[in-house]
Structure 1
Amino acid sequence: MRILFLALTFPKIGHGGNLYTDLMEEFCDQGHEVFVVAPSIDENETGLIDEGGIKVLRVKTMSLLNVGAVKKGLANLLLPFQYKKAIKNHFKSEIIPDLIIMPTPPISLVTVATWLKKKSNAKVYLILRDIFPQNAVDLGMMKKGGFLYRIFRQKERKLYEISDSIGCMSQGNIDYVKKYNPEVAISKLHLLPNWQKEILLNPENRASLREKYGFDDYFVVIFGGNIGLPQKLENILKVAKLYNGNDNVLFFIVGQGTEKERIDALSKQMNLKNVVIKDSLPREDYQNIISAADCGLISLSEKFTIPNIPSKSLSYFNAKIPVLAAIDKNTDYGFLIQEQIRGGVWAPSNEPLKIKEKIDFLRANPQLCTSMGENGYEYFINEVTPKHSYERIMNHV
């Protein structure tokens, strides 16, 4: 098949990776012809580029990540016009896809997908990873019923309408879409959990890594990924304050995002000696650091009404460490982690004492932590590699 993937973030193949590069590489390895439309990484490197056998059309756009809400909103609104123009200039009429795959965010690319579907009669597969605009309402970035909300809600409905299949992260996501969008045919919806390539780790390196990063004598709670409003890491700083100066618990935060500077400043203001905040690292370096930690942290704002399933937990599964989830009560992620996978524990994200109780529970039960790590790893390699996701998509289309 000829696959066209509309991406928002797509690291250069061979120089980084994320779940979407992993998936497109899997499609390529399975013998499909893969085309990707994605923002340029270097503004001087635009146009159609062969990246490891995948033809990537790099488009010059406004900054889409780590910028304020107004700039991000404007960049997303301009994106479909920029993509459509680039596709017309570079793909010409001979590039007729059989399958168009697009993730959320953003939903603004619905106009590009609709246009391409009419031109090619291709199927559209939606990877639903962000239920917008409701998540923006939850975080106070948009008023429900307001002008912008109505525009984006209309685009969301159109996106569900033109999609032939919709892959949802969890049963909670499927139930949510059905509840608030009853016009969507149930036959379109199916389960597509987050996925990730396995990164092979050397367990013998763990002791040297702990020494290198100053983890010795600490129970290390590690967080990696975006530091933004959805993560609300001030909740975690409140937990760290409960330990500060009393116990050997270290909170190690790695990442970038719109809230990073504020969280860093707040940590200093609170005089937290047990919080370390670092910049993002290359994927394999980051995975190595995770393997030296004692548990992996998930943090979600308690304001969410939509069921989020963070993909960063896969890195923790890969490293065979238990997951500590500080999450809202509307997601089914806690049930998934604690009851189904048995790979970790969870507590409400706005209740620091309960989160501390979970950390103390993990500290007091090292053998159980090992067992949870093994359970997470087994789920990872048996259920959520790119090959599993590829098979789920192909079975449904």
Structure 2
Amino acid sequence: MKKVLYLGLGYPDVKKSTILYTDLMQEFAKQGHEVLVVAPALNKGDYGIRTEGEVQVLRVRTLPLFNVGTIRKGLGNLLLPYQYKRAIKKYCSEFDFDLIILPTPPITLASIASWLKKKSKGKIYLILRDIFPQNAVDLGMMKENGFFHRYFRKQEERLYVASDSIGCMSPANVAYVKQHNPVVESEKLHLLPNWEKIPESVPKEEIEIIKKKFDLTDKFVAIFGGNLGRPQKMENIINLAKSCTDYKDIFFLILGSGTEKEAIKEVIATSNLSNIRLIDRLPKKEYIQVLAAADVGLISLSEEFTIPNFPSKVLTYFGLKKPVLASLDLATDFGQMLEETKSGLWGEAGKTDNLREKLLWLYHNPEARNEMGENGHKHMAKNLTPEIAYETIISNINGSKKKA
């Protein structure tokens, strides 16, 4: 498994920001692998191969894939394998990859992964982080059994069959794939929880500066950081903020970007909420500083989901020892994880009174908050780091059967 190819989607420049996939590829390089990442260009005209961190990154010209409408995003994802294939042919003289790694989303890279597998005789490892197209059906973005659903469902099955090994976020994810995809060999499926480097603790003096900057001094701060899209159903967080207006020192901070950002901003304005603020996505270092100044990390998932999602934003909460309060659908086993690790509380999405009760319990119990924060940090250190994810991938791909 010396030479590794990663087919990415959202892959930032590690000098400016990091995500779980940059952490993982840097770990592969650290372990002595030659890594080539294929990902969209970050700036117009910035195409070709360059070194980013310890890996080689081939930046490809694509259509816009983020913060655009459903049709443009769909078209961009459909064209992606052709654009990647053309770029790989142009810049790669040899196809001698031992391991081909790709995550979902998107599922449209199945064709290029299969092509590379035949060319290189390498194995395909699928990081399953988005069960599409069912998530789109759940959110009413796609008609069940319609033309697009049938097309993408075939692509999904094709991707599962082509993969030699499939890492799933949680036990519920493994069970879901087994139940709904009888074409998938059960031995391919295994647990690959999300991962992230544990951030360094933020000095108290920096936290005080952040509190003054964002007017958080003497406030109990509940923070949500990450994508602001339909899957997150931010109305549940806004309704929670509305229910807490009688507590003048409870403040809600939302940081991020996404398709629902403007709608969220409008709801906050029209509701005249003074206990909630929406801030644009921050660089990772500054986001960590702001999160360090918070008391609780918030999670929100749409109650419409029938697939078990497992939000990765919890990792940064755990890393900074923040207790978690989650508004969840009943398909996910995320709440079970919070209970088992004693790292947070959760309530059923859409039931604001219950979520308010959980928040106020955290508000009134600072010692319990600290204990939950410590528990989450311990769980992360033991189970959710790039080093552990690397070992899981290598051990499973080495043990998988080579497919024809």
| TM-score normalised according to structure 2 size | 0.96
Aligned to 2:52: 51
Aligned to 1:101: 101
Work out the CA distance in 1 between the residues paired with 2:67 and 2:121: 36
SS in 1 for 2:142: coil
Aligned to 1:120: 120
Alignment of 1:121-136 (within 5 A): 121-136=121-136
Judge which range, 303-312 or 375-384, deviates more. 375-384
Aligned to 1:325: 326
Aligned to 2:191: 191
Aligned to 2:292: 291
Structure 2: gaps spanning 5 or more residues: 398-404
Q: Given that residues 221 and 252 in structure 1 are in contact (C-alpha distance below 8 angstroms), is that contact kept between their aligned partners in structure 2?
A: yes
Work out the CA distance in 2 between the residues paired with 1:288 and 1:246: 25
SS in 2 for 1:255: strand
1:233-287 alpha-carbon deviations (Å, 9 max, x no partner): 0111111111225442111000000100010011111111111000011101101
Aligned to 1:355: 355
The 1:377–1:246 alpha-carbon spacing in structure 2 relative to 1, beyond 3 Å, is closer
TM superposition shift of 1:53: 3.0
Amino acid at match of 2:15: G
Aligned to 1:235: 236
Work out the CA distance in 2 between the residues paired with 1:186 and 1:361: 42
Work out the CA distance in 2 between the residues paired with 1:212 and 1:50: 36
Structure 1: gaps spanning 5 or more residues: none
Work out the CA distance in 1 between the residues paired with 2:178 and 2:162: 16
Amino acid at match of 1:223: F
TM superposition shift of 1:219: 1.3
Amino acid at match of 1:28: A
TM superposition shift of 1:95: 3.5
Judge which range, 322-331 or 208-217, deviates more. 208-217
SS in 1 for 2:230: coil
Alignment of 1:223-262 (within 5 A): 223-262=224-263
Aligned to 1:265: 266
RMSD between superposed Cα atoms in Å: 1.0
Q: Given that residues 251 and 276 in structure 1 are in contact (C-alpha distance below 8 angstroms), is that contact kept between their aligned partners in structure 2?
A: yes
Aligned residues: 395
Asked if 1:391 is matched to 2:391, the reply is yes
Aligned to 1:142: 142
Work out the CA distance in 2 between the residues paired with 1:77 and 1:179: 27
Work out the CA distance in 2 between the residues paired with 1:119 and 1:67: 34
SS in 2 for 1:70: helix
Work out the CA distance in 2 between the residues paired with 1:70 and 1:154: 19
Amino acid at match of 1:80: P
Q: Given that residues 232 and 301 in structure 1 are in contact (C-alpha distance below 8 angstroms), is that contact kept between their aligned partners in structure 2?
A: yes
Q: Given that residues 123 and 164 in structure 1 are in contact (C-alpha distance below 8 angstroms), is that contact kept between their aligned partners in structure 2?
A: yes
Aligned to 1:309: 310
Q: Given that residues 37 and 83 in structure 1 are in contact (C-alpha distance below 8 angstroms), is that contact kept between their aligned partners in structure 2?
A: yes
The 1:113–1:396 alpha-carbon spacing in structure 2 relative to 1, beyond 3 Å, is same
SS in 2 for 1:225: strand
1:317-347 alpha-carbon deviations (Å, 9 max, x no partner): 011110111110110000001x221110000
Work out the CA distance in 1 between the residues paired with 2:219 and 2:204: 19
Judge which range, 193-202 or 326-335, deviates more. 193-202
Work out the CA distance in 2 between the residues paired with 1:13 and 1:360: 38
Work out the CA distance in 1 between the residues paired with 2:166 and 2:347: 30
Work out the CA distance in 2 between the residues paired with 1:53 and 1:217: 42
1:278-316 alpha-carbon deviations (Å, 9 max, x no partner): 001110110111111000000110000000000000010
SS in 1 for 2:155: helix
Q: Given that residues 9 and 38 in structure 1 are in contact (C-alpha distance below 8 angstroms), is that contact kept between their aligned partners in structure 2?
A: yes
Q: Given that residues 95 and 119 in structure 2 are in contact (C-alpha distance below 8 angstroms), is that contact kept between their aligned partners in structure 1?
A: no
Work out the CA distance in 1 between the residues paired with 2:25 and 2:258: 25
Aligned to 2:66: 65
Aligned to 1:27: 28
TM superposition shift of 1:369: 0.3
Work out the CA distance in 2 between the residues paired with 1:301 and 1:202: 32
SS in 2 for 1:230: helix
Aligned to 1:369: 369
Aligned to 1:182: 182
Work out the CA distance in 1 between the residues paired with 2:236 and 2:131: 23
Aligned to 1:344: 344
Judge which range, 31-40 or 7-16, deviates more. 7-16
TM superposition shift of 1:359: 0.3
Aligned to 2:275: 274
SS in 2 for 1:16: coil
Aligned to 2:85: 84
Work out the CA distance in 2 between the residues paired with 1:293 and 1:237: 17
